[in-house]
Amino acid sequence: MNKISSYPPLMVLGTSSGVGKSLMAAAICRVLLRRGEAPLPFKGQNMSNNAWVDESGGEMAYSQALQAWASGLEPKCAMNPILLKPKGDSTSEVIHLGQSVGIASAQTYYKNWFKPGWIAIRKGLKELQDSNDLGRLVLEGAGSPVEVNLQHRDLTNLRLARFLNARCLLVADIERGGVFAQIVGTLALLTPTERPLIKGLLINRFRGSRELFDSGKRWLEEETGIPVLGVMPFLKEVFPPEDSLDLLERKAVKANSEIEIAVLKLPSISNFSDLDPLEAEPTVKLIWIEPGQNLGEPDALIIPGSKQTLIDLEKLNNSGLSQQIKVYAKKGGNIFGICGGLQMLGRSLNDPYAIEGLVSENSKKASLGLDLLPIHTNFAESKSVIQSQLRINWPEKVSVVGFEIHHGKSILIDNNKKIKQLFEQPDLGWILNSYGSGKIIGTYLHGIFDNGYWRRKWINDLRKQKALPELSTNEPNHSEKRNALIDLLADSLEEYVDLNPLIEE
């Protein structure tokens, strides 16, 4: 394969998962863009249920979509040629270049999927090369690059770095503790041909005065012979979590919030980036509720997407949370379900092809939903994956954008006067005036809260129920706020990190 361009590829590796690789790669992309370069974000393989749909109707990881926006590009599946979507039973759905190609078990993945995966990665790289032969690849690794039991089948870390002769930045998270052991241990496990690829170290999420780490920086440089290019501070701004584990670290920090929204942290939660626009609302506080915890009396409850709707619904039932939700609805609570959350709100669900992970004999039986919307859902073998622009009926007719990723097809089975189609297009969502002023809303449209005008209309409906003054609806879409956050991240990177040794010829 020819070189992507005359610019050497850069690669962001991490000492473990969750150290900030995705956001550091996004920041580097924005910095390169500011310097007049054409960054091309790429992650060979990502494991995530937080997905995005590109313009061609293909699935990719949301983190690579974020990096595309940081690069001033429209996301495309070539930037993430392998997406593994965990199903929670040691299996994952395998997405190659945007399309679902099968189900893989953890035990046989590397045996059965390594060669097809490497082919997909090569195709993704070529597609990016063809799109801009003057661009610079900004690659993101996955997890740790030195998992010794997996290195011989590594698709997206050192194999790719060697293949492209990438200049690698190793990121370590000091917030987790043991940063010296993280770095020295990682470097010790590299082979003699791999270690020279590491051109710089980056310490991430440092609290307090960075001068306190000067002696640590000197020690690392003397011990490893690799320069510490910078120490990134712990940023207070809310950035999108890299995976569902990061949701556990989110704390409710808005002491002066006026609206409290509970979000179910489902065991198989998916597309939790749907909630980012609400996290960014200054008057809204999100509280994440897990099965087994008390729901309380929030101003609204959101049931997000799920990779395993029926299994997560069963866990809600077994934990008693389903009954709490029904009681909350009868008290006039406001409930909003997205995709799998919409399906759970229905009367019944049927999964004849065991799409949702139930064993086949159980999947043939219809499951009971929360019975808060009079709809029935059938799970089909084919999947709807599409970007959408459509008109919403409530609270007024306006255009909204989003995307769909779902096997389920839901239909209305009791058309009473209280329930209305949420969109002009049928069977994509419903709204039911429930008890008192409460509303039960469900939709298949991911990204609904990205629409600034509509989001504020929904929040104002909640505020009206509390006799709070309305907020301005002259609110930009979340994409503008997201872009501003990327700029803040890039500003910090330029202030605290010297990328020149990594970038310069």
Task: List active site positions.
Answer: 339, 446
The tokens of 226 are what? 């690799």
C-alpha–C-alpha distance, residues 9 and 5, integer Å: 8
φ, ψ for residue 117 (rounded to 5)?
-65, -40
φ, ψ for residue 331 (rounded to 5)?
-85, 5
C-alpha–C-alpha distance, residues 285 and 88, integer Å: 29
C-alpha–C-alpha distance, residues 85 and 64, integer Å: 15
Q: 454 and 473 in contact (C-beta within 8 Å)? A: no
The set of long-range contacts for 247-254, using a CB threshold of 8 Å and a minimum separation of 24, is: 247/272, 247/288, 250/286, 250/288, 252/285, 252/286, 252/287, 254/282, 254/284, 254/285
Instruction: Give residues with Cβ within 8 angstroms of 426, minimum separation 6.
Output: none
Q: Cα 116 vs. chain centroid, distance in angstroms?
A: 25
Q: What is the DSSP string of 13-50?
A: EESSTTSSHHHHHHHHHHHHHHTT--EEEE-SEEE-S-
E-strand stretches of 394-476? 398-412, 419-421, 429-433, 439-443
Number of CB atoms found within 10 A of residue 424's CB: 11
C-alpha–C-alpha distance, residues 91 and 392, integer Å: 37
C-alpha–C-alpha distance, residues 255 and 396, integer Å: 32
Q: What is the DSSP string of 299-341?
A: SEEEE-EESSHHHHHHHHHHHTHHHHHHHHHHTT--EEEETHH
The tokens of 105 are what? 């078990």
C-alpha–C-alpha distance, residues 285 and 422, integer Å: 25
The tokens of 147 are what? 């998992």
The tokens of 364 are what? 């043939």
Instruction: Give residues with Cβ within 8 angstroms of 337, minimum separation 6.
Output: 302, 303, 343, 344, 345, 373, 440, 441, 442, 443
Number of CB atoms found within 10 A of residue 374's CB: 18
- Residue 395: is the preceding peptide bond cis (ω within 30°)? yes
What's the sign of the alpha-carbon dihedral 58, 59, 60, 65?
positive
Q: Which helix or strand (DSSP H or E) is residue 221 part of?
A: helix 214-224
What is the residue whose two structure tokens read 């219809």? 366
